[in-house]
Structure 1
Amino acid sequence: MKRAILALAGGLALLAPAAQARTLRYASVGDIRTMDPHGLYETFTQSTLANIYESLLRMTEMLELEPSLAVSWEQARPDMWRFRLRPGVRFQDGTPLAADDVVFSIQRAMADGSDMKVATATIRAVTSPDPMTVEIETKGPNPILPREIVFLGIMSRSWAEAHNATQPVDIRKGQDNFASRNANGTGPFRLVLREPDSRTVLASNPGWWDTPRHNLTEVVFRPIGNSATRVAALLSGELDLMEPVPVQDIPRIAAAPGLRVLQGPEIRTVFLGMDQAREQLTDSPLRGRNPLKDLRVRRAMLLAVDAEAIHQRIMRRESRVAGLIIGPGIEGYDAALDLRPRTDVEAAKRLMAEAGYADGFEIGLDCPNDRLVNDAAICTAVVPMLARIGIKVVPNIRPRAQWSQKVLSRDTSFYLQSWSTPTYDAFNPLVSIAAAPRNGHGAFNSGGYENARIEELIPRIQRETDAAGRRAMIGEVLRIHRDEIGHIPLHQQFLAWGVRANVATPLMPDNVIKLWLTRID
């Protein structure tokens, strides 16, 4: 995977400056949910906003940290990181970047209404000893803080104050403010037009501090949820790039004149989640009990859901069957733990009977239809699989915006979800999904899974500086979560982008479209 990324990165670096700049037209299955960089910790929204709002550091095509708004960083002491800011950087409204903006932005990301608390959970305080230095104090040692803040966009304090947007608003509750609809960053592109659920237009930022490697003057993004419509738009020439390519259409696009398909593994794991907190399910006629709190029921569901069949038939082998909530490429991943039991319907039936549910029960399944590769088809496939052990699943398939509002507000009993790891470190998914939802942890643990030993290990992992000891604790959390069926992993999906032959862009395993490295020639 890294060889492919390196090869493409080298190809981009060798390209000569273009004589004529271009407009890039691209589409994805869903829309950007908010323009507020602290409004939603979701890969597509954050990766799009990273072209407008920059963080202190960024990831290279080789998956390494490099300077962005900070020119250098150091761990000044075990519980404090120091960042030196880049001089001469200006926001797109002309305001110069100062340490006060960084302090404001990090504090804003820590505030109520922010969805970036996963990235700021270990931060105790942030200060600026001088106008070009920022010091972040953590709750004990945190060796991976620089990776955790890669998507923490820096805002202008004066701009936020002028537009009454000093506090982020909770998108899970359908709230918005000026920053939800407008933008003012330091990045390579600036927002020109925002029409939610229709189109978003960006223009190149002529005052960007970095030397552009792109040749784009304009970027037009359109959300196109219908896969057939999205494919047709690429084939007809309406689009220059679209993702994801439906697995059944990969050969067709790859064979079309002037088009190609970029493919590679994604670090995103797709899984099923279950309400293990409530005494009674909200999306079930069953009263007085929550069968999902019983490990035997959860194990029965794991044994009945045939992930291999989903891999073969739904994903057409464009995925990797998973036994854990993280996969290869993530620090802390252990192949020896990545074990999934074979599908065994009879054993699952016995477990259901032992748990007192021989006749099964009914439950709703919340699914997006414009978020993941074949997401609706995956949920549809789960229905007959669980019916074999008496569980009547009623799929509630919705557009991503409606699905996420329901699931992220924890108004769900059973749901399809996924997690991509922007830090490439296991602590990120563990603190987001395996940790109990409180004190800034477990923000995406929509089923309320909780284990006392995991709660003990999570803070120890975040401050452990010994690599071997840290991996051992990560392995213990992964094993506990796997054995208790905290979630039901399905697979890591593969990436497939359809692009015109004259488009050069790096395909990253985190599915981030880096417009500042994209060219049309």
Structure 2
Amino acid sequence: MQKTIVAIAAGLMATTTLIGSANAETLRWARSFDSLTLDPHSQNSGVTHNFNSHIYDSLIGRDIDGEFLPLLATDWYLKEGDDTVWVFELREGVTFHNGNEFTADDVVFSIDRARSEISNMRQLHADVESVTAIDDYTVEVQMSGPSPLYPNNLTNTFIMDREWSEENDVVEVQDFAAGEENYAVRNANGTGAYELVSRDPDVRSVLTYNENYWGEEPQVTEIEYVVISDNATRMAALLSGEVDFVQDVPFQDVERLASTDGIVVESGPENRVSFFGYWVGEEPLSSSNITDANPLADPLVREAIHLAVDRDAIRQVVMRGYSVPTCTLAPLRVSGWTEENDTCPEVDIDRANELMAEAGYADGFSIALDAANNTAGNDEAIAQAVVGMLGQIGIEVNLTSRPQAQHSPLITSGESEFYIMSWGVPTFDSAYIFNDLVHTKGGNYGTYNPTGYSNPELDAMIESLGTETDTAVRDQTVADIWDVVQEDRFLLPLHNNPLAYAMREGINMPIHPENKPQMRDLTFD
């Protein structure tokens, strides 16, 4: 009887909370970790882009079906008579949160800033030669050659106010890897639906509706964005009515939540693949007992690891059946995906041990593995499972886990020799994967390639994709690049990531393919 009374009281409290939220138009949104920075051109991170997209607008976005959505650009097309120039017609009457008018000059400034040396967004603009304001509401982007897919690269390039940036000394992008702070790291001035009210990194941020927003007024007029890294605590906050919407739902909790009165769960695939990467250069591993060579530089060792990792066991045990095992870095929706590359071989520990012995490592070796411990993709649990799998072929793995905000810089700085991460593809094109993960690190390319992998011939092929207009030629080049990547195995794909959102009953938010739900699109019953 007592339990029944408590349950009824809890249900009434939850209902009252939701009605209060709807009436007050406030949404309490919980995530497992925070945006890495508010500087919109510093980090190419999905969580960071998701949060910043509520404050800043890009020229072009994507809707819930992955189709182009005109935002600050109302139209875009190749210049008549010159297929190396993209023309963007801009939305008129838009203002930044501080009241400054949005013009073509802000677009020129922002694209140039995003393609600057320190920006982790620069590879998206590698083929840009210059950006010019033709008038207040027209911008021309001169490419190094015909670049038919360039608009695909703009969905996460947010537009800043040049005047505000100059006044606050943030013309230069934050050097995140060096631990640099600037005014744009904790302050923001965009054209988006929400203005920043307060910011306590890794704890809580508050956004309020921008009364001068150019788009349709959303039902959510205030957002309380709270960071709750512990899975159990985050779920308890939803069940108790402390938060309304949880974006990072542990897969072990999906069935329980879906069967709980007053809670709705949405699930579906994300345009993202989880994978392991490792140092494959000749320099020995600093964390290994092998001091005169790098075992991972040997293709036989990498093939042994490939055969030893049981992706289906990870799917069943760690991901509770929700992930889709894969042996390619290309998610299902991405141009260049093939069933052949996607298909994984049977786990073969005996053959893996034979390969280890053939490579001269019959007794195995030791190595350190880095994982984030607060991701929605269960990276730490996956890493723990792989530690056991590699132990079967003599590889002793020492796992170190840390928050994503500390894990990400290890990868971009090249300090991690063995790591787990995931990669989304907002352009829906293989070139996005090649540019950042495969190309030799340096210049506009290879930002997230700390592996030491370098193939000059492959680099040239990758760079050609940006300006290749012959579809058949381009498709063949993409296929040829994948052939090399699949054979060299310097990255170890695991699975296509699933997504699950949980929310109070009466809230409507479908799964976004890039895991970028927009609170301006959320509705209350």
TM-score normalised per structure 2 = 0.93
Within 5 Å, give how 1:157-306 maps onto structure 2: 157-212=162-217, 214-306=218-310
Instruction: Output the amino acid matched with 1:73.
Output: W
Q: Could you tell me whether the CA contact under 8 Å between 1:172 and 1:404 is conserved in 2? A: no
The reply to whether residue 68 of structure 1 matches residue 71 of structure 2 is yes
Equivalent residue for 2:457? Answer: 453
Give identity over the alignment, percent.
38
Q: Could you tell me whether the CA contact under 8 Å between 1:366 and 1:407 is conserved in 2? A: no
Deviation per residue, 1:52-104 (Å, 9 max, x gap): 11111111222111211111111112221111111111000000011111111
The reply to whether residue 313 of structure 1 matches residue 302 of structure 2 is no
The reply to whether residue 137 of structure 1 matches residue 142 of structure 2 is yes
- 2:214 and 2:151 map into 1 onto residues whose CA distance is 21
- 1:113 and 1:80 map into 2 onto residues whose CA distance is 25
Give the direction of change, closer, same or farther, for the CA distance of 1:33–1:134 in structure 2 (3 Å limit).
same
Equivalent residue for 1:419? Answer: 423
Residue-pair matches, total: 503
- 1:307 to partner: Cα distance: 1.0
Q: Could you tell me whether the CA contact under 8 Å between 1:434 and 1:486 is conserved in 2? A: no
Give the direction of change, closer, same or farther, for the CA distance of 1:371–1:202 in structure 2 (3 Å limit).
same
Within 5 Å, give how 1:32-181 maps onto structure 2: 32-76=35-79, 77-181=82-186
SS in 2 for 1:172: coil
- 1:485 to partner: Cα distance: 0.3
SS in 1 for 2:341: coil
- 1:116 and 1:159 map into 2 onto residues whose CA distance is 21
CA RMSD of aligned residues (A): 1.4
- 1:452 to partner: Cα distance: 3.4
- 2:227 and 2:22 map into 1 onto residues whose CA distance is 30
SS in 2 for 1:517: coil
SS in 2 for 1:371: coil
- 1:453 to partner: Cα distance: 3.5
- 2:53 and 2:394 map into 1 onto residues whose CA distance is 46
Extract unaligned runs of 5+ from structure 1: 1-17
- 2:451 and 2:83 map into 1 onto residues whose CA distance is 34
Within 5 Å, give how 1:334-483 maps onto structure 2: 334-483=338-487
Extract unaligned runs of 5+ from structure 2: 1-20
**Larger displacement relative to structure 2 (106-115 or 362-371):** 106-115
Deviation per residue, 1:226-272 (Å, 9 max, x gap): 11001101111111110221111111111111111000011110000
SS in 1 for 2:313: helix
Equivalent residue for 1:493? Answer: 497
Equivalent residue for 1:15? Answer: none
**Larger displacement relative to structure 2 (74-83 or 222-231):** 74-83
Q: Could you tell me whether the CA contact under 8 Å between 2:250 and 2:376 is conserved in 1? A: no
- 1:489 and 1:432 map into 2 onto residues whose CA distance is 15
**Larger displacement relative to structure 2 (312-321 or 333-342):** 333-342
Deviation per residue, 1:364-396 (Å, 9 max, x gap): 001001124221110001111111111110001
Equivalent residue for 1:6? Answer: none
- 2:373 and 2:22 map into 1 onto residues whose CA distance is 41
- 1:115 and 1:278 map into 2 onto residues whose CA distance is 26
Q: Could you tell me whether the CA contact under 8 Å between 2:249 and 2:376 is conserved in 1? A: no
- 1:61 and 1:388 map into 2 onto residues whose CA distance is 43
Q: Could you tell me whether the CA contact under 8 Å between 1:506 and 1:517 is conserved in 2? A: no
Q: Could you tell me whether the CA contact under 8 Å between 2:372 and 2:407 is conserved in 1? A: yes
Instruction: Output the amino acid matched with 1:207.
Output: N
Q: Could you tell me whether the CA contact under 8 Å between 1:243 and 1:497 is conserved in 2? A: yes
**Larger displacement relative to structure 2 (434-443 or 221-230):** 434-443
Give the direction of change, closer, same or farther, for the CA distance of 1:51–1:278 in structure 2 (3 Å limit).
farther
- 1:355 and 1:330 map into 2 onto residues whose CA distance is 35
Equivalent residue for 2:12? Answer: none
Instruction: Output the amino acid matched with 1:433.
Output: L
Q: Could you tell me whether the CA contact under 8 Å between 1:304 and 1:389 is conserved in 2? A: yes
**Larger displacement relative to structure 2 (21-30 or 194-203):** 21-30
Q: Could you tell me whether the CA contact under 8 Å between 1:283 and 1:412 is conserved in 2? A: no
Equivalent residue for 2:10? Answer: none
